[in-house]
Amino acid sequence: MSDHPDPVLRLLWRYDDGAASAPRRGRKQRLSVDDVVDAGIRIADRDGLPGLSMRLLASELGLGAMSLYTYVPGRDELVALMVDRALGRRKLPAMPDGVRDRMALVARVHYEACQQHPWLLEVSGLRAWVGPGASDLYEWQLSAIEGVGLDDIEMDQTVALLIGFASSVAQAQERIRAEERSSGMTQADWWAANADELGVVMAGREYPLAGRVGAAAGEAYQAATDPAREMEFGLARILDGLVAHIEQKRGTPA
Amino acid sequence: MSDHPDPVLRLLWRYDDGAASAPRRGRKQRLSVDDVVDAGIRIADRDGLPGLSMRLLASELGLGAMSLYTYVPGRDELVALMVDRALGRRKLPAMPDGVRDRMALVARVHYEACQQHPWLLEVSGLRAWVGPGASDLYEWQLSAIEGVGLDDIEMDQTVALLIGFASSVAQAQERIRAEERSSGMTQADWWAANADELGVVMAGREYPLAGRVGAAAGEAYQAATDPAREMEFGLARILDGLVAHIEQKRGTPA
DNA sequence: CATCCATTCCGTACGGCGTACGAGAAAGTT
DNA sequence: AACTTTCTCGTACGCCGTACGGAATGGATG
């Protein structure tokens, strides 16, 4: 039957055992779980997820490496806590009127989260823990489209579509930023330095469309006073499609 | 001016120096770069990207670990080669008639690629190398929407939207698969085993929408004879939006 | 043929990682 | 004061990517 429940849940929800009445014996913890998680977020924001090592985190907290394991069962669980907290710490703005603006807001809020915490995009191999931060966020996201005529499954899919899109734009941008940071040259520099070599190396293979479009896109993106043009185009199309679907369903209710 | 060009380009395009006339001196390589890259892909398909270690790869090839470095400068470059090859090895189907079907095909082909090589989704921290596989694919993707009335930048954004969406659906599915594989229990099992604990741990916090929608979605997804329902909904909306945009531009040409 | 040398192969080693283990330190209970 | 529980953390193990240098190989040269 019911396998033992997942022990990480208590940690995610900071649930204190019910035996809170009995004051804890033994040595006291110097820090709180939140201290550890926040420090982890700070490091990941600065150095990326691979740059977050248990030893570094411990030393930034003034702890020995192994002391971390009294706060958190392991690195994976720490990252899960970081994700939930990063998602949950954001204040969720009030919903505007109009489905379209509401859905746009859902996408933009997630986009901002991914920009502030780019390591969120690197957390792929990890299970999606259900914690308070993720739950608050999901509830808020659903509230954007509650009552507009979508059934439950469509609501879930709509939210997934919006935040998936926001993630993928953020990921594309972050990839470029990371590249420029690690190579020390801008995209334009790279193409300038490698145009000749590319000509040699491609040795006659022709890419008429890719060449033309790639060049235009490259120019446009590096102009980039507004770095988020990619966001606007895609979001507009997605919202068009979603609004049309909603209106069509309104026309023919179940 | 032109910094030295990126040495990995020659490897990506398998460009052989021009000094091909002079036969190589010294010991011969036992394998080819493609052998190494293919073996890497095989391992990553099986064990995921973190499971691909240089030592394991070498041993599967019957080599010492350090011998790999005569084929490939390092692990990151190997992964770049794997990506380009995984993208490029696919045969690209002929384009159907009609923009809508063409764009749908672009998304579906990328979706299939991500399903066949889930590790593609984990390659986030890496630069996007321009190799023959990626170039062929991009050219093919652009050919789907060439001449429909979009300008160059919109063409790039349209492709980005389609493949970004395909990736994010694939990623959501892969996350679930990975979870079930690592925990040994299905999603349904997990919820069954943890429902009580969640009730305790959430301690009165209420999620009316998330609870209702999450439950409906969970049921629907695990029914999942068609595991790709999420794909259909989002793709339909995106295509609706894109087609509307294209038709509107056709109506008012520049 | 012998010699030379470019090239590949690979054993060893270094510094880093996550974390298992167990000894010592601190704080509440008796 | 003695005991028990809990936190702290030094050491160590087995992984990782890869720098280095020596051994093996085989075409080019005499």
DSSP string covering B13-74, please? Answer: TT---STTSS---SSPPSS-HHHHHHHHHHHHHHH-STT--HHHHHHHTT--GGGGGGT-S-
Task: For A99-251, give the CATH class.
Answer: mainly alpha
Matching CATH topology for B8-87 and B99-251?
no
- Indicate if CB(B67) is under 7 A from strand C: yes
What is the spatial distance, in angstroms and rounded to an integer, between the CA atom of A102 and the C1' atom of C22? Answer: 56
pLDDT digits (tens, 9 = 90+) for A161-217: 999 999 999 999 898 888 888 888 888 888 889 999 999 999 889 999 999 999 999
Closest nt to B70 (CA→C1')?
Answer: C8
Query: What's the confidence (pLDDT) of residue B22?
Result: 63
Contacts of B83 in chain A (CB under 8 A): none
Query: What's the confidence (pLDDT) of residue A112?
Result: 96
* Strands, E assignment, A75-188: none
Q: For chain B, give the number of residues.
A: 254
Nucleotides of D under 7 A from a protein CB: 4-12, 15-21, 24-28
Please identify every stretch of chain A with a pLDDT value under 50, giving residue numbers as ranges. Answer: 1, 224-225
Closest-CA residue of A relative to B161 is A234
Cα of A137 vs its chain's centroid, Å: 12
The rounded distance, in Å, linking the Cα atoms of B36 and B82 is 9
Q: Which of A105, A252, A160 is nearest to B237 (CA)?
A: A160
Closest nt to A77 (CA→C1')?
Answer: C18
What is the spatial distance, in angstroms and rounded to an integer, between the CA atom of A39 and the C1' atom of C24? Answer: 27
Partner residue facing B238 (CB), from A12, A171, A237: A237
Largest Cα separation within chain B, whole Å, is: 78
What are the counts of helices (DSSP H) followed by strands (DSSP E) for chain B?
10, 0
Q: Does residue A52 come out as left (phi exceeding 0), alpha (psi in the -120 to 50 range) or beta?
A: beta
* End-to-end Cα separation, chain B, in angstroms: 39
- Indicate if CB(A26) is under 7 A from strand C: yes
What is the spatial distance, in angstroms and rounded to an integer, between the CA atom of A22 and the C1' atom of D23? Answer: 69
The full set of domain ranges for chain B reads 8-87, 99-251
Please identify every stretch of chain B with a pLDDT value under 70, giving residue numbers as ranges. Answer: 1-3, 18-23, 125-126, 223-227, 254
Please report where in the chains the tokens 């988020």 appear, as a residue.
A228
Query: What's the confidence (pLDDT) of residue A168?
Result: 93
Query: A8-88 falls under which CATH superfamily?
Result: Homeodomain-like (1.10.10.60)
The rounded distance, in Å, linking the Cα atoms of B128 and A174 is 12
Query: What's the confidence (pLDDT) of residue B225?
Result: 43
CATH 3.40.50.300 fits B8-87, yes or no: no
Q: Which residues contact B103 (CB under 8 A, 6 or more apart)?
A: B144, B145, B158, B162, B239, B242
